[in-house]
């Protein structure tokens, strides 16, 4: 068993760009790739599945009760205007750092539903972009993403670091990516979905939901739900709150209806200031999921933004979510067992 475990670990830690042969995979017991849930795109970089065991979980130091960084971006501009803006160079630098450190992107939907498919020994990260700004996605005359857009940078980094899955979540309002023509909007959404990205709800006009009536809150959410459906996006499962502002009552953000249309989100995301608990944790609140603003360590970001938290997680590796490579099981150090939701008991592997 020890030989098998060590062999699997060796495969999981191969440098980017190295692929074991089919025969080698068969010898160490790697099974067929796990098929994503119906309606979600197959990503070509999805890792082959493994069946985790306590011995294997110990070898890769799996901790699926750990913290996950969910990074929040806004505009990607060559010259920053606001403190929350990032340049293409800053975005590229941060993504390259994540790739080198062993992080693998997943979507907000995958995180909120607990569908985390990351190779053993690596760490999930969620890249999120608010507002559907033109700097997030645009196609050039050849039909390829503009290189300095968010999508262009993500694809460039993924091409140079093959283990860095090219995916992210884009939360849109009424004019996704600055497009007013519905055919162009549909083409943009279709391109993103077909290439493994998530497009989801950020309300119709980006209001402070706390200041609205219950009816207006529901209308703001439903109008984007209808737009997403019209544009051909898969059924929506996540919402990002404008300004991170929660409506009253809080439950309105997760479920409700307006004018005959219902919504029911698996995850509602804040503008947050710290990494999120694991979606398997007892105290995980899917109605108020924390995020981290992408930024350096100046001013209020000295202890609340991405540079600080990524450095903190590197210094405290025992607090970070580490995948066991098996999406059907939840591997944790034995001392963490009490922190996992009892409904997940049958999935737990403790070592």
**pLDDT confidence of residue 126:** 99
The pair phi, psi for residue 38, each rounded to 5°, is -60, 135
Q: Assess whether pLDDT exceeds 60 at residue 39.
A: no
pLDDT band at 330 (very low <50, low <70, confident <90, very high): very high
Distance, in Å, from the CA atom of 286 to the CA atom of 283, rounded to the nearest integer, reads 9
Whether residue 30 is predicted with pLDDT greater than 50 in this model: the reply is no
Distances (CA, A) of 20 to 27, 121, 160, 184: 11, 17, 19, 41
pLDDT of 49: 67
Map residue 67 onto helix, strand or coil: strand
User: What is the percentage of the chain residues whose pLDDT exceeds 90?
Assistant: 85
Phi, psi of 253 (to 5 degrees): -70, -30
Separation between Cα atoms, residue 233 and residue 8, nearest integer Å:
37
C-alpha neighbours within 13 Å on the C-beta side of residue 348: 19
Per-residue CA distances from 322 to 127, 147, 258, 300, 329 (Å): 17, 31, 40, 29, 13
Query: Is 60 exceeded by the pLDDT of residue 221?
Result: yes
**What gap in Å lies between CA 190 and CA 197, rounded to an integer?**
10
Token output for 62: 């799996």
pLDDT over threshold 80, residue 164: yes
| pLDDT score at 272 | 83
Q: Per-residue pLDDT for 18 more than 50? A: no
Stated pTM of the model: 0.87
Q: What is the pLDDT of residues 40-68, one digit of tens each?
A: 444 444 455 689 999 999 999 999 999 99
**Cα–Cα dist 73/35, whole Å:** 30
Mean pLDDT of 250-265: 98
pLDDT of residue 80: 97
Structure tokens at 13: 């830690």
Q: Which residues of 107-131 are buried (b: 16+ CB within 10 A; e: fewer)?
A: bbbbbbbbbbbbbbbbbbbbbbbbb
Ramachandran region, residue 29 (left: φ > 0; alpha: ψ -120 to 50; beta: rest): left
Residue 338: pLDDT over 80: yes
- Helices (H) and strands (E) in the chain — how many of each? 9, 12
Average pLDDT over residues 252-262: 98
Query: What's the pLDDT at 129?
Result: 98
Tell me: pLDDT of 10 over 50: no
How far are the Cα atoms of 13, 185, 199, 240, 244 from residue 235, in angstroms, in the given order?
35, 17, 10, 15, 23
- As a whole number, the mean pLDDT across the chain is 89
Instruction: Assign 8 a pLDDT band (cuts: 50, 70, 90).
Output: very low
| Homologous superfamily in CATH for domain 67-324 | Glycoside hydrolase/deacetylase (3.20.20.370)
Higher pLDDT, 46 or 97: 97
pLDDT of 197-213, one tens digit each? 999 999 999 999 999 99
b/e burial code for range 204-234 (CB count within 10 A of at least 16 → b): bebbebeebeeeebbbbbbbbbebbeebebb
> What pLDDT does residue 36 have?
37
Lowest mean pLDDT across 11-15, 88-92, 192-196, 294-298: 11-15
């Amino acid at each position: 068993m020890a030989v098998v475990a060590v062999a699997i670990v060796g495969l999981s830690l191969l440098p980017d760009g190295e692929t074991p042969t089919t025969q080698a995979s068969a010898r160490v017991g790697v099974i067929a790739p796990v098929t994503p849930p119906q309606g979600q795109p197959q990503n070509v970089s999805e890792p082959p599945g493994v069946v985790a065991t306590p011995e294997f979980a110990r070898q890769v130091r799996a901790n699926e009760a750990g913290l996950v960084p969910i990074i929040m971006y806004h505009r990607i501009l060559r010259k920053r205007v606001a403190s929350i803006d990032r340049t293409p160079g800053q975005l590229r630098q941060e993504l390259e750092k994540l790739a080198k450190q062993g992080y693998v992107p997943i979507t907000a939907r995958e995180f909120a539903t607990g569908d985390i498919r990351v190779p053993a020994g690596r760490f999930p990260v969620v890249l999120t972009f608010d507002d559907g700004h033109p700097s997030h996605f645009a196609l050039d005359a050849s039909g390829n993403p503009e290189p300095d857009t968010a999508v262009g940078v993500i694809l460039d980094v993924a091409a140079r670091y093959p283990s860095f899955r090219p995916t992210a979540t884009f939360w849109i309002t009424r004019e996704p990516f600055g497009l007013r023509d519905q055919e162009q909007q549909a083409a943009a959404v279709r391109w993103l979905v077909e290439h493994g990205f998530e497009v989801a709800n950020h309300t119709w006009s980006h209001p402070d939901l706390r200041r609205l009536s219950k009816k207006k809150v529901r209308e703001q959410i439903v109008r984007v739900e209808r737009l997403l459906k019209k544009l051909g996006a898969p059924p929506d499962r996540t919402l990002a709150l404008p300004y991170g502002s929660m409506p009253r009552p809080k439950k309105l953000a997760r479920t409700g209806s307006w004018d005959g249309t219902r919504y029911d989100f698996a995850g509602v995301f804040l503008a947050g200031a710290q990494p999120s608990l694991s979606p398997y944790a007892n105290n995980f609140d899917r109605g108020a999921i924390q995020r981290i603003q992408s930024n350096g360590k100046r001013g209020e970001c000295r202890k609340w933004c991405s540079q600080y938290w990524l450095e903190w997680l590197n210094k405290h590796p025992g607090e970070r979510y580490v995948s066991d490579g098996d999406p059907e099981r939840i591997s944790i150090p034995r001392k963490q067992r009490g922190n996992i939701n009892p409904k997940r008991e049958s999935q737990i592997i403790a070592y």
